[in-house]
Structure 1
Amino acid sequence: MASVYSILTYWLVNHPNIANFTWTEGETLGSTVFFVSVVVSVYLSATFLLRHAMVSLPSLSPRILKPITAVHSLILCLLSLIMAVGCTLSITSDPTTRFFNAICFPVHVEPKGPVFFWAQVFYLSKILEFGDTLLIILGKSFRRLSFLHVYHHATVLFMCFIWLQTRQSMFPLGPDEFYGSCHYVRLLLPVCRKM
């Protein structure tokens, strides 16, 4: 068990790309207001246009849509699980970090290291979650395409950007990713049963 822990700690915390990560505005992928604004604008526009275009078009065959949905859910499930483990190990493996720091960062914390790496991955993963909306539209499941669904996806991306930009607590990442893992397994299993 100790070797599994040390392997996971190396790959999810101590790997040089993770341990030396720094969030730098204008240099790190997605680190500008322009980036997040464009991504959310494209998401909202595409959702609106596709939703209205699909009314007159045939829906995608379940034979095509179900495997795509299964792969999408599997990718997000595994990514959520990896992020949850990475966040947990980042907090617990650093002897200088107190648990309180995971809930509320010190005032002058630098946006670097494993916790901020996983926050960056979490932030960018929210863009992958836009695929949920596309799959709902392609399947013509318009009842599932609620205002709350679209609003949630658009605002969570901004929230993640603000967390990184202002170096706020990353505590919501852990519970959200454990929930995300369960949520995407819940979406994956029915699709796999019907295939």
Structure 2
Amino acid sequence: MASYFNGIRSYLSEHPSIVGFRWSHAQSWGSTWSFLFAAITLYVAGAAVLHFTLLIFRRRRIPLGPLPAVHSLAMALISATIFAGILLSTAAEIRDTRWLWRRSRSKTTPFQWLLCFPVGTRPSGRVFFWSYVYYLSRYLHALRAYITVLRHRNLAWFNLVNHSILICSSFLWLEFSQSFQILSILLTSLVYAAVYGYRFWTAIGLRSACFPFVVNCQILLLCCNLVCHVGVLSLHYLKGGGCNGIGAWLFNSVLNAAVLFLFLNFHAKRRRSAAAGAEN
């Protein structure tokens, strides 16, 4: 058992491609601003075109077969792998650099490092490799909006905006070596592994939970992110030197606030529609 765990740890945190990773516009796929803007534009435009095409030319739902289940299973496995990889990589980084923290004047602790990167941090090494994998996985995650359009012929603008913001945020994490991204990836990948595992469970016909499992997980994630954002802001002003990428963090905070507003508005409309349907 110990040898099995050591093999996983070696593969997910000690592989040369992981240890030697460096975010580079010349070498990392999808790492340019032009690619980001083009991808988000094509994503939103493609979903809108698909939606209106189905409204005009097809009245019935398109049978998707096992596609939703396969997508959910893939996202669950990818999210679980990202969680394990960044957890092991974070532990390895703390192990390898603890002596530097002890000698620093600010006496940085591992928990403070998780929330607040020192100024001058570069997007290279283990944790940024998994941040890059997480960024790429957002494109696969965004395909769920297309599955929703094909299945229900309904275009949820909240999902399009939310997925686009997630792609943009994860890009900014890498581009500006933004603080707080380690905890955010840990929390998000863990929640997504549970959410997509549950969606796969129900997609293959097994019994669903007696409470809104997905919504509760999303609310829990939003609350945890809010607490962590307060921690980043506190450390930035209390810790000497501040936190790296604080400008990108402020911009991402605005994006997260927009997601929270859209999330509350989206589910409020769904509750009103459900209540109106019950009355009729």
TM-score by length of 1: 0.91
Alignment of 1:1-195 (within 5 A): 1-55=1-55, 56-57=57-58, 58-61=60-63, 65-94=64-93, 95=95, 96=97, 98-142=110-154, 145-169=155-179, 170=181, 171-193=183-205
Runs of 4+ in 1 over 3 A off after TM superposition: none
Larger-Rg structure: 2
Deviation at 1:9, TM superposition (A): 1.3
Aligned pair count reads 189
Distance between the aligned counterparts of 1:48 and 1:176, measured in 2?
27
Partner secondary structure for residue 193 of structure 1? coil
Deviation at 1:28, TM superposition (A): 1.1
Task: Render the CA deviation track for 1:168-195: whole Å, top value 9, x for unaligned.
Answer: 122200000000101101111111117x
Deviation at 1:141, TM superposition (A): 4.9
Q: Which segments of 5 or more consecutive residues in structure 2 lack a partner in the other structure?
A: 99-109, 207-280
Distance between the aligned counterparts of 1:141 and 1:192, measured in 2?
21
Deviation at 1:24, TM superposition (A): 1.1
Moved more, 120-129 or 2-11: 2-11
CA contact (8 A) 1:83 1:118 kept: yes
CA contact (8 A) 2:54 2:153 kept: no
TM-score by length of 2: 0.65
Moved more, 30-39 or 1-10: 1-10
Moved more, 2-11 or 113-122: 2-11
CA contact (8 A) 1:83 1:121 kept: yes
CA contact (8 A) 2:61 2:150 kept: yes
CA contact (8 A) 1:91 1:99 kept: no
Moved more, 52-61 or 120-129: 52-61
Distance between the aligned counterparts of 1:20 and 1:92, measured in 2?
17
Task: Render the CA deviation track for 1:50-87: whole Å, top value 9, x for unaligned.
Answer: 111111324212xxx14111111111000000000111
Distance between the aligned counterparts of 1:141 and 1:18, measured in 2?
41
Deviation at 1:17, TM superposition (A): 1.1
Distance between the aligned counterparts of 1:133 and 1:79, measured in 2?
18
One-letter code aligned to 2:12: L
Deviation at 1:38, TM superposition (A): 0.7
Between 1 and 2, higher relative CO (CA 8 Å, sep ≥ 6) is seen in 1
Deviation at 1:147, TM superposition (A): 2.1
Distance between the aligned counterparts of 2:160 and 2:46, measured in 1?
11
One-letter code aligned to 1:37: F
